[in-house]
């Protein structure tokens, strides 16, 4: 495993690369406020593939958006396509967790010629919204954006374990999984550490698309798709929502695994086996 930096038009995108350089290509996209390290437990189980796990912009070691700009969901599509271009990959398999899975889905819908197979964990398309809440969401997002002080000094964290505890306070995962993510998401400052992630990532989104739009995007996915979902299911990815979206896939397969949201980190043997067998269809193809 080694660090890579991909130069793109909107700034450098960092990542981790592992596996067989001649193997089938896999681009891995992490969840919100995670980073490439979230795929480290899974990588030994995908050693026959050329796996590149990105730090999405604003996360880990990647560049932040320019001052004055926001993290708009559709922009992630072009970050992924820019990364594929920088790697020289005409097409690849996409592997995504949570937000990264949602991004992978819209990339597959918007640029189907770039995606061979799609494996998503705890996601199938982005979060949707309802019209009745659109006005309040917009007001809250505008107020939060205007209140953000870009010149504010970062909060100093005394030590790694304090940072791990902070992550565990908002995320249900094992301590080992949290430490992997946190270690990559810290930078040294005087007196301790500070988060490397962009504070703008924590702002509420201005707009969420209606579920009908999300269903339309999912229906446009041409790549064979594996969806791995945790049981019990989180509220935002309920069985009803999940099953309704699965029904729109042209070629979809669902696997439900008992566990938490970071299944791929806490059960890498199980999840790695499912992903590996699914992607082998590419490896054995012409």
Distance CA 91, CA 118 (A): 12
Distance CA 74, CA 88 (A): 22
CB 263 within 8 A of CB 32: no
Distance CA 122, CA 265 (A): 12
> Tokens at residue 125, please?
């398309």
Distance CA 138, CA 256 (A): 35
Q: Could you give the residue numbers annotated as active site?
A: 98
Could you tell me which residues are beta bridge partners of residue 5? Answer: 14
Closest alpha carbon to 118 in 258, 279, 286, 280: 279
CA 12-163-148 angle, to 5 degrees, is 60
């Amino acid at each position: 495993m080694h660090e890579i930096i991909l130069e793109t038009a909107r700034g450098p995108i960092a990542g981790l690369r592992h596996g067989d350089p001649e193997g089938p290509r896999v681009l891995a996209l992490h969840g919100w406020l995670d980073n490439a390290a979230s795929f480290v437990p899974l990588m030994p189980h995908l050693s026959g593939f050329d796996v590149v796990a990105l730090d999405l912009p604003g996360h880990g070691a990647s560049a932040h958006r320019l001052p004055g700009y926001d993290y708009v969901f559709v922009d992630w599509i072009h970050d992924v396509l820019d990364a594929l271009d920088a790697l020289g990959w005409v097409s690849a398999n996409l592997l995504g967790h949570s937000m990264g899975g949602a991004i992978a889905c819209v990339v597959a819908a918007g640029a189907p010629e770039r995606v061979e197979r799609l494996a998503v964990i705890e996601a199938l398309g982005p979060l949707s919204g309802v019209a009745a809440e659109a006005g309040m969401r917009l007001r809250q997002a505008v107020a939060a954006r205007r209140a953000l002080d870009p010149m504010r000094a970062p909060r100093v964290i005394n030590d790694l374990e304090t940072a791990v505890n902070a992550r565990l306070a908002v995320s249900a995962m094992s301590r080992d999984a949290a430490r992997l993510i946190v270690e990559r998401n810290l930078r040294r400052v005087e007196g301790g550490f500070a988060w490397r992630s962009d504070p703008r990532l924590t702002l509420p989104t201005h707009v969420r698309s209606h579920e009908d739009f999300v269903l339309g995007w999912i229906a446009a996915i041409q790549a064979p798709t594996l969806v791995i979902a945790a049981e019990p299911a989180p509220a935002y990815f309920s069985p009803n929502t999940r099953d309704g979206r699965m029904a729109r896939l042209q070629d979809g397969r669902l696997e439900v695994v008992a566990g938490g949201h970071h299944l791929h980190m806490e059960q890498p043997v199980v999840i790695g086996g499912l992903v590996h067998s699914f992607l082998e269809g590419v490896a054995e193809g012409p």
